[in-house]
Amino acid sequence: MSKRLQVILTDDEARALKQVAEREGLTVSAWVRRSLSESRAARAVVDVEQRLATIRGAARHEFPAPDIEEMLGEIERGYSP
C-alpha cells in the first residue's frame, strides 16, 4: 500500500530540487524517495554504532558481584516471608 506525503516548498526550493533530480535522470518524486531511503539507512547505522559504543563502554566497568550460587541464594531468601 502506498501513502501520499505532501511537502510545502518555496518556489526556489522546488526549482532547485527539480534541477537536482533532472541532473540525476530522476523525477522529483523518485529523487525524494531515494533521498529519504538513504537518510533512513544512514541513521540506522548511526543508531547501531551508538548502541554498540554504549554497550562497550558499560562492559569496561567492573562491579563487585558474588558468584551465581550466592546470588541465587540471596534471591531465594528475598522471597521468604
Q: Are 57 and 48 in contact (CB under 8 A)?
A: no
Nearest to 21 by CA among 11, 33, 10: 33
* pLDDT at position 66: 84
Identify the sign of the CA torsion 4, 9, 11, 16.
negative
Nearest to 18 by CA among 4, 5, 7, 32: 32
State pLDDT tens for residues 19-75: 999 999 999 999 999 999 999 888 877 788 888 999 999 888 887 888 999 999 989
* pLDDT at position 32: 96
* pLDDT at position 50: 86
How far apart, in whole angstroms, are the C-alpha atoms of residue 34 and residue 15? 18
* pLDDT at position 38: 93
* pLDDT at position 62: 84
H/E element, 5: none
* pLDDT at position 22: 97
